[in-house]
A and B are shown apart, each in its own frame.
Chain A
Amino acid sequence: MKTLNFEDLTKIRKKAQATLNMRELSYAAVSEKSCGLAVGTEHIELLCCGGTGCKASDSAKIVDNLKAAIEANGIADKVEVIVTGCFGFCEKGPIVKVMPDNTFYTQVTPEDAEEIVKEHVIAGRKVERLLYVDPKTSHTVSDAKHMDFYRKQMRIALRNCGFIDPENIEEYIARDGYAALAKALQEQTPEQVIDIIKQSGLRGRGGAGFPTGMKWGFARNYQAEEKYVVCNADEGDPGAFMDRSIMEGDPHSVIEAMAICGYCINANKGLIYIRAEYPLAVHRLKVAIDQAREYGLLGKKVLDSDFDFDIEIRYGAGAFVCGEETALIHSMEGKRGEPTLKPPFPAESGYNGYPTNVNNVETLANVPIILTKGAEWFSSIGTEKSKGTKVFALAGKINNVGLIEVPMGTTLREIIYDIGGGVKNGKEFKAVQTGGPSGGCLTQKHLDTPIDYEHLTAAGSMMGSGGMIVMDEDDCMVSVAKFYLEFTCDESCGKCTPCRIGNKRMLEILTRITEGRGTMADLERLKELGEIIKDTALCGLGQTSPNPVLSTINNFWDEYVEHVQYHKCRAHQCKNLVTYSIDPTKCKGCTACARKCPVSAISGEARNPHIINPDKCIRCGMCISTCRFDAISIS
């Protein structure tokens, strides 16, 4: 295909919009009447999630089976299967959505494909058993718009995920894709574009929340022969996968934003630093980059303008610290991935010493839509200092695990109870960990705190990249802190003393506490050492690494004290602090537990009460799950 100019792009958009029109319209209004070919629907689209999560649940096979069934029934001219990015409702995946009636099928298996085609597509009868059941009303809900999970969401960064085919550039173009780039190149100076980003109030979504427009402005101000735009796709927080989902579901939004940034800071080269363990995201990016080049949206003379811009993918080996921008740059240079002191900031001296602007994936995904819809539109969303929306990865003990996007300022309660559907198994909410290993734990008392950069920091946590792990009464907060610190100790680059040795010593103290060997002085030492590590560590990783410990000490002091003074773990998670015992009045002597015990710690005559030898017992819990008489308890 020849290089496109601005008019060509507009033509393609119009044509593509016509194709996408049905999806757009049906998204806006449920077309119950158009269910199935039987009622005369002319064209049906089956959107099937092709994100990593659903793929792991065999969604590729679902697509194959759907296509095979369509072929077998001779309706291929009227029915199309489209692989999309993530819908976000991972708890209920794999998802198949039928258009134009907007029916949302959950937990679909490859075996269900034929039924969907025969029943729904052909006969016009919805497959009731695959519909979502609202846990509150026990009624089925067929349109996602009416599900609590989606009702309070506002999808800006995720606007195209689960809606378009990420491997088809024209679907992106139909959704006003590359319009912002075209407008910038055609009508706006780089300064004007930067001003819009500044006015929109967009801040970095990777964790620290630095104003994006300012960052671009700094990079623009440094003059050099070469400059670079780097996309930080080194998503590393445990449980966070928004960047992956965006790259899998809407790769062009990242590419377009990088080109816009290149135009603004006067860079001709973009680099995407992505972890090699995201093969699907890498594949989708590669396809998207190739298509963008083919359409003249990357390469020499973008859209027939004087602006050259191209993008290369660089692979990371998965070190968490490489998400820190200086470490990321060193890794791309082929050096050891470890941070260096800032200043100089990458804007002054970055990749190979040239001015470099590094933005996170989610940040970039916001850029094109801000430019098409305007700074005012974006800044009207959110709170005073935190504008727009934020994507969170909901995980842990929550009913609706998945990827959500909400306006800044949404409360934790809304996220956990309305969108997340509350704590699993009706257990009591205890805490939510935000911000990953750099963040902290929020508790009951924070439930009505509006979520934005400032409030999270004030509450002793941080935004981070948006991981949200919900914990219930069965979680031991000392163990949670220990888990995160173990992570940081593993992922520390080892460069500076406080992070290399300090975190190790904190972890040793925590380990002592979970094993019942801690002292009250240890608790004081943890606090003191944590504060000094925060004060003296070299990079963001070290400076925030004590947060999970400090925030749990702060919010769950009693629990720490219980571990230390009473050798008690109320959540029964610290194995050294619990004993398993058999109630002789309940035990029937069935020998089941003794046979299951992996270390032969249980003894007793058949038909007589058994006993557990605490010295041998490894507290694995196997006996409890085996006992049919509820005779075994933990104390």
Chain B
Amino acid sequence: MEEKNMITLTIDKHEVTVPAGTMLLDAAKTVGISIPTLCHIDLKGTCVQNMPASCRICVVEIEGRRNLAPACATRVTPGMVVHTNSARVIRARKTVAELILSDHPNDCLTCPKCSDCELQRLVMRFNIRTMPYNNGEQSVRKQELTPAITRNMEKCVYCRRCESVCNNVQSVGVLSAIRRGFNTTIAPTFDKMFSDTNCTYCGQCVAVCPVGALTERDYTDRLMDDLSDPDKVVIAQPAPAVRFALGEEFGMPAGTIVTGKMATALRDLGFDYAFDTDFGADLTIMEEGAEILHRLKKFLAGDKDVKLPIMTSCCPAWVNFYEHEFPDLLEYPSSAKSPAQMFGAIAKTYWAEKMGIPREKIVCVSIMPCLAKKYEAEREEFKVDGNPDVDYSISTRELGRLIKRANIDFVNLPDSEFDSPLGESTGAAAIFGITGGVMEAALRTVYEVYTGKTLPHIDFNDVRGFEGIKEATIDLNGFELKVCVAHTLSNARKVMDALRAGKLNYHVVEVMACPGGCIGGAGQPYHHGNIEILKARAAAVYREDEGKALRKSHENPDIQKLYKEFLGEPMSEKAHHLLHTHYSDKSIK
């Protein structure tokens, strides 16, 4: 039976046997033939996939067929004879690339994607030395600078990866093809600006863009200025997921944990204090955990109005998503701020008071795997008299660029510790950077606080892994706590639609907008469609957790101290004021 489903064909004189349904591109890979692609992306195991077969870079010659066929979307058939490098193919591919270049600014030297650009790589690979079709008309396309994303659509090669993720992965549906022919472009309906749409700034369009059409809003120059200003106290707070990916920017293997090197680099860059968002993550668990317990107790006491499930609120793109699309359900998400914002609020109150530094002198910079964080930092509700708790946010990639600019030999840096007191964290905080991690961290604390017992098994394997929607049931002294974990906003939408329809039977739900959670965030080094990179980062997350002496947020001594000295207890009035927020209807009317 198994043999029946296998297909044998010939690719460049290699005999290949692959399962039926395999695309030529993948079949060729099994014999070491790497066919060039541009529009194609397939982050296997996630729903990130784009194969419109439209760029025509991957064309191959199939004997008996009149035209060249795209390898990315042509299924193998028995006895097929394929040539991936005939003169006809090589010439056609080169011409197609030349055509793309003829409607591209070709300002590679100053492009933010220079050296990380998939088109540039093709140009080198195809040995293109002239641009015979240039000097023609250039299509006119929009540019836009949002708080999170920079759009420079002149560079767009119309691969439509962004459209696929925006629609199929995130179900946000902001991006689609508009106009026809040469003037076709990918844009919001009626060529609106992102800022006039329900864009969540998740940035997954940026994460998959092969060229420099969609990039992050760059704050590195602003940060350079702040770092060199002697009147400012610049503090850094890198997010949990950054340390598992930053090394890739320096050629280190994916999954290398660079926590210590990063702390050193931050100080070398001139940050006055290198703190850690992980501290904020532990704090988040204290507040969100208390809120979970609060709602559960009400529920168990028979309160019919209690809003369950309670939903996590750490992910800023997810917050934007429900504010835009589910304004009727805003009472369900936890009111807890994200770790980065909690950190900012504490740094500019508790720590500022402790150090005797006026709030205005402190520049709190978050370093995030995320682009939506840039927008989050600008939210009015996170400002005190116009001064933001987090001044601005830079991505993992921007930190990488800064380190290079500052002549720091990152790979050979010695390790160092984060500064105290906002640098101490537990393993529970480390796993915030991956889908299921916030849930697992919360469960570790909720279980112990609720039952008064020590957890028998600290790992909650049911909520780990890349499956789109995961479920688990936890026995809390006989009460079955049902939890759900969703990543990507299309999966979140399924959960929200079920909630709206009254068909959702969970007590706690975690949502992260990016595939895989923050390790697959839009601010991380580009994965270029290689799922192995995400897997390696995921493994590193759990390695870091296992290696920690403390793995439960409520055991973090500095957190305990913070409550003792300043906040009182979780959900106290002060905690509520500083660490909780509210949501508003932001639907596009």
Q: Contact residues of A with B, CB < 8 Å?
A: 319, 336, 338, 340-341, 343, 489-498, 500-505, 508, 525, 528-529, 532, 534-538, 543
**A538 contacts B53, CB within 8 Å?**
yes
Closest to B101 in A: A501
**Total contacts A-B at CB 8 Å:** 103
Task: Please tell me which one of the listed residues B95, B100, B182 contacts residue A494 in the complex, with CB atoms under 8 A apart.
Answer: B182
**A492 contacts B182, CB within 8 Å?**
yes
Q: What are the residues of chain B within 8 A of A528 when measuring CB–CB? A: 95
Task: Please tell me which one of the listed residues B67, B88, B181 contacts residue A489 in the complex, with CB atoms under 8 A apart.
Answer: B181
Give Cα distance in the complex from A364 to B155, angstroms. Answer: 46
Give Cα distance in the complex from A393 to B558, angstroms. Answer: 85
Interface string of B230-254 (1 = CB under 8 A from A): 0000000000000000000000000
Give Cα distance in the complex from A489 to B57, angstroms. Answer: 21
**B181 contacts A494, CB within 8 Å?**
yes
**A495 contacts B52, CB within 8 Å?**
yes
User: Besides A498-B56, A525-B132, A532-B96, 17 other CB < 8 A contacts?
Assistant: A492-B181, A492-B182, A493-B180, A494-B180, A495-B52, A495-B54, A497-B96, A500-B181, A500-B182, A501-B182, A504-B136, A505-B133, A508-B137, A537-B67, A538-B54, A538-B56, A538-B70
**A338 contacts B177, CB within 8 Å?**
yes
Is residue B59 within 8 Å, beta carbon to beta carbon, of the partner chain? yes
**Chain B nearest CB, measured from A501 CB (Å):** 4
Q: What are the residues of chain B within 8 A of A495 when measuring CB–CB? A: 52, 54, 158, 177, 184
With A492-B181, A494-B181 already in contact, the answer to whether A536 and B53 are too (CB < 8 A) is no
In the complex, the 4 A-B pairs of residues with the closest C-beta atoms, listed nearest first: A494-B184, A492-B181, A501-B99, A504-B182
**A494 contacts B183, CB within 8 Å?**
yes
**B136 contacts A508, CB within 8 Å?**
yes
Closest to B183 in A: A494
With A494-B182, A500-B182 already in contact, the answer to whether A534 and B67 are too (CB < 8 A) is yes
Task: Please tell me which one of the listed residues B73, B136, B180 contacts residue A505 in the complex, with CB atoms under 8 A apart.
Answer: B136
With A498-B99, A536-B92 already in contact, the answer to whether A543 and B67 are too (CB < 8 A) is yes
Q: What are the residues of chain B within 8 A of A319 when measuring CB–CB? A: 180
Q: Which of B403-430 contact A (CB under 8 A)?
A: none
Task: Please tell me which one of the listed residues B133, B136, B180 contacts residue A492 in the complex, with CB atoms under 8 A apart.
Answer: B180
Q: What are the residues of chain B within 8 A of A505 when measuring CB–CB? A: 99, 102, 133, 136
Q: What are the residues of chain B within 8 A of A534 when measuring CB–CB? A: 67
Q: What are the residues of chain B within 8 A of A497 when measuring CB–CB? A: 54-57, 96, 99-100, 158
Give Cα distance in the complex from A419 to B74, angstroms. Answer: 46
Is residue B14 within 8 Å, beta carbon to beta carbon, of the partner chain? no
Closest to A525 in B: B132
Give Cα distance in the complex from A496 to B53, angstroms. Answer: 8
Q: Is the interface of B mostly helix, strand, loop or mixed?
A: loop
Q: What are the residues of chain A within 8 A of B73 when measuring CB–CB? A: 341
Q: What are the residues of chain B within 8 A of A535 when measuring CB–CB? A: 59, 67-68, 88, 92
**B177 contacts A494, CB within 8 Å?**
yes
Closest to B93 in A: A536
Is residue B179 within 8 Å, beta carbon to beta carbon, of the partner chain? yes
Give Cα distance in the complex from A383 to B54, angstroms. Answer: 38
Task: Please tell me which one of the listed residues B70, B100, B136 contacts residue A341 in the complex, with CB atoms under 8 A apart.
Answer: B70
Closest to A489 in B: B181
Q: What are the residues of chain A within 8 A of B177 when measuring CB–CB? A: 336, 338, 494-495
Is residue B103 within 8 Å, beta carbon to beta carbon, of the partner chain? yes
Count of interface residues, chain B, beta-carbon cutoff 8 Å: 35
Give Cα distance in the complex from A532 to B182, angstroms. Answer: 18
**A532 contacts B92, CB within 8 Å?**
yes
Give Cα distance in the complex from A534 to B95, angstroms. Answer: 12
Q: Which of B59-77 contact A (CB under 8 A)?
A: 59, 67-68, 70, 73-75
Q: Contact residues of B with A, CB < 8 Å?
A: 52-57, 59, 67-68, 70, 73-75, 88, 91-92, 95-96, 99-100, 102-103, 132-133, 136-137, 158, 176-177, 179-184
Q: What are the residues of chain B within 8 A of A501 when measuring CB–CB? A: 99-100, 102-103, 133, 182
**B180 contacts A490, CB within 8 Å?**
yes
**B182 contacts A536, CB within 8 Å?**
no
Q: What are the residues of chain A within 8 A of B67 when measuring CB–CB? A: 534-537, 543
Give Cα distance in the complex from A313 to B411, angstroms. Answer: 66
Q: What are the residues of chain A within 8 A of B59 when measuring CB–CB? A: 535-536
Question: Chain B CB within 10 Å — which of A319, A501, A505 has the most?
Answer: A501
Closest to B51 in A: A341
**Chain A nearest CB, measured from B495 CB (Å):** 25
Closest to B56 in A: A536
**B181 contacts A491, CB within 8 Å?**
yes
Give Cα distance in the complex from A511 to B54, angstroms. Answer: 27
Give Cα distance in the complex from A359 to B92, angstroms. Answer: 33
With A508-B137, A536-B68 already in contact, the answer to whether A494 and B99 are too (CB < 8 A) is no
With A501-B102, A532-B95 already in contact, the answer to whether A341 and B53 are too (CB < 8 A) is yes
Give Cα distance in the complex from A494 to B88, angstroms. Answer: 24
Q: What are the residues of chain B within 8 A of A525 when measuring CB–CB? A: 132
**Chain A nearest CB, measured from B26 CB (Å):** 16
Give Cα distance in the complex from A179 to B400, angstroms. Answer: 77
**A340 contacts B52, CB within 8 Å?**
yes
Give Cα distance in the complex from A356 to B86, angstroms. Answer: 36
Q: What are the residues of chain A within 8 A of B53 when measuring CB–CB? A: 340-341, 496, 538
23 A-B pairs within 8 Å (CB atoms) are namely A336-B177, A338-B177, A341-B70, A489-B181, A490-B181, A494-B177, A494-B180, A494-B181, A495-B54, A496-B55, A496-B56, A497-B96, A497-B99, A498-B56, A498-B96, A504-B137, A529-B95, A529-B133, A535-B67, A535-B68, A536-B92, A537-B56, A538-B54
**B56 contacts A489, CB within 8 Å?**
no
Closest to A528 in B: B95
**Chain A nearest CB, measured from B269 CB (Å):** 42
With A336-B176, A529-B95 already in contact, the answer to whether A343 and B75 are too (CB < 8 A) is yes
Closest to A343 in B: B75
Q: What are the residues of chain A within 8 A of B103 when measuring CB–CB? A: 501, 504
**Chain A nearest CB, measured from B151 CB (Å):** 18
**Chain A nearest CB, measured from B87 CB (Å):** 12
Give Cα distance in the complex from A505 to B136, angstroms. Answer: 7
Question: Chain B CB within 10 Å — which of A489, A497, A504, A534 has the most?
Answer: A497
Task: Please tell me which one of the listed residues A340, A341, A490, A502 contacts residue B99 in the complex, with CB atoms under 8 A apart.
Answer: A502
Q: What are the residues of chain B within 8 A of A504 when measuring CB–CB? A: 103, 136-137, 181-182
Closest to A336 in B: B177
Closest to B104 in A: A501
Q: What are the residues of chain B within 8 A of A538 when measuring CB–CB? A: 53-54, 56, 70
Q: What are the residues of chain B within 8 A of A536 when measuring CB–CB? A: 56, 59, 67-68, 92, 95-96
Q: What are the residues of chain A within 8 A of B68 when measuring CB–CB? A: 535-536
**Chain B nearest CB, measured from A446 CB (Å):** 22
Q: What are the residues of chain A within 8 A of B132 when measuring CB–CB? A: 525
Q: What are the residues of chain B within 8 A of A543 when measuring CB–CB? A: 67
**A500 contacts B56, CB within 8 Å?**
no
Give Cα distance in the complex from A340 to B53, angstroms. Answer: 8
Give Cα distance in the complex from A408 to B96, angstroms. Answer: 39
**Chain A nearest CB, measured from B23 CB (Å):** 11
Give Cα distance in the complex from A534 to B56, angstroms. Answer: 12
**Chain A nearest CB, measured from B229 CB (Å):** 47
Closest to B132 in A: A525
Q: What are the residues of chain A within 8 A of B182 when measuring CB–CB? A: 489, 492, 494, 500-501, 504
**Chain B nearest CB, measured from A324 CB (Å):** 14
Give Cα distance in the complex from A532 to B93, angstroms. Answer: 9
Give Cα distance in the complex from A340 to B92, angstroms. Answer: 20
Question: Chain B CB within 10 Å — which of A495, A496, A505, A536 has the most?
Answer: A536
**Chain B nearest CB, measured from A126 CB (Å):** 53
Give Cα distance in the complex from A292 to B511, angstroms. Answer: 54
Closest to A543 in B: B67
Give Cα distance in the complex from A538 to B95, angstroms. Answer: 15
Give Cα distance in the complex from A543 to B59, angstroms. Answer: 14
Question: Chain B CB within 10 Å — which of A338, A492, A496 has the most?
Answer: A496
Question: Chain B CB within 10 Å — which of A319, A505, A529, A538 has the most?
Answer: A505
Closest to B70 in A: A341
**B102 contacts A500, CB within 8 Å?**
no
Give Cα distance in the complex from A495 to B158, angstroms. Answer: 8
